[in-house]
Amino acid sequence: AQSVTQLDSHVSVSEGTPVLLRCNYSSSYSPSLFWYVQHPNKGLQLLLKYTSAATLVKGINGFEAEFKKSETSFHLTKPSAHMSDAAEYFCVVSDSGGGSYIPTFGRGTSLIVHP
Amino acid sequence: KAGVTQTPRYLIKTRGQQVTLSCSPISGHRSVSWYQQTPGQGLQFLFEYFSETQRNKGNFPGRFSGRQFSNSRSEMNVSTLELGDSALYLCASSPLAGVTDTQYFGPGTRLTVL
């Protein structure tokens, strides 16, 4: 069975400093991995995804993530935080276990950006 | 293109009632997925429909059901509502692959069960 763990429920940074949101996954198959962002009172938006191509994935708004199979990690980073980055971030794993793709969401990391 | 729309946005029901939520995907998208989001359980996958057929299903009781119409619009039904069904229900659409491809989410329907 697949699973995903977001290691921090809250991350607090100052504007202009780097962002690191950590995600570890477990999968018996070749997984697809995603990061989504949810702003208050809005639907989820895809930031980036990994589907067995390049291990360093670039997404929207300056975010990127690196797939590390040996560490079963897919951490999300951004060099410089902006106030508008404050939101809830979800790491998602999906694999073909059992012949069907069913995504598993992490519990979310709340990113707080201080001026 | 218009985004994914969900109706109604807010709903209040009492225990034992049933409810139907509606989702209109982005034009041209054939896959529609439904999710439940609660503070306690987080985001959980309910089911996915593609070309009017349920293709994937999460671990929810049979009280939760859905369907998809020929125009790709989808409805989700919950019968015999329980307090624990109070949640934000999110719908997502994608062009083809469903849960392995980019999904575009609607704003959700907030269901409160009293």
Among A27, A29, A33, A46, the strongest candidate for a mutation testing the B interface, having the largest count of B CBs within 10 A, is A46
User: Three-state SS for A85?
Assistant: helix
Nearest beta carbon to residue A102 from set B58, B106, B107 = B58
Query: Given a cut of 70, is residue A99 above it in pLDDT?
Result: no
Percent of chain A with pLDDT over 90: 74
Rounded to an integer, the average pLDDT of A19-26 is 97
Element (H, E) at B89: strand B87-94
Which residue do the tokens 């996954």 mark?
A25
Identify the segments of chain B with pLDDT beneath 50: none
Give which of B103, B100, B92 is closest to B5, Cα–Cα.
B92
Q: Judge: A94–B100 Cβ closer than 8 Å, yes or no.
A: yes
**Predicted local confidence at residue B67, as pLDDT:** 97
Q: What is the dihedral of CA A75, A77, A81, A85, to 10 degrees?
A: -50
Among B35, B93, B99, the strongest candidate for a mutation testing the A interface, having the largest count of A CBs within 10 A, is B99
**Predicted local confidence at residue A80, as pLDDT:** 97
Residues in chain A within 8 Å Cβ distance of B92: 43-44
How many CB pairs (< 8 A) connect A and B? 49
Q: E strands, chain A, where?
A: 3-6, 10-14, 19-21, 23-26, 32-38, 44-50, 56-58, 64-68, 73-78, 87-94, 104-105, 109-114
pLDDT digits (tens, 9 = 90+) for B87-101: 999 999 988 765 567
Query: Given a cut of 70, is residue A89 above it in pLDDT?
Result: yes
**C-alpha to C-alpha distance for B32 and B24, rounded to whole angstroms:** 9
pLDDT digits (tens, 9 = 90+) for A53-86: 788 999 999 999 999 999 999 999 999 999 999 9
Residues 42-61 (A) with a CB less than 8 A from some CB of B: 42-46, 49, 51
CA of B50 vs chain A CAs: smallest distance (Å): 13
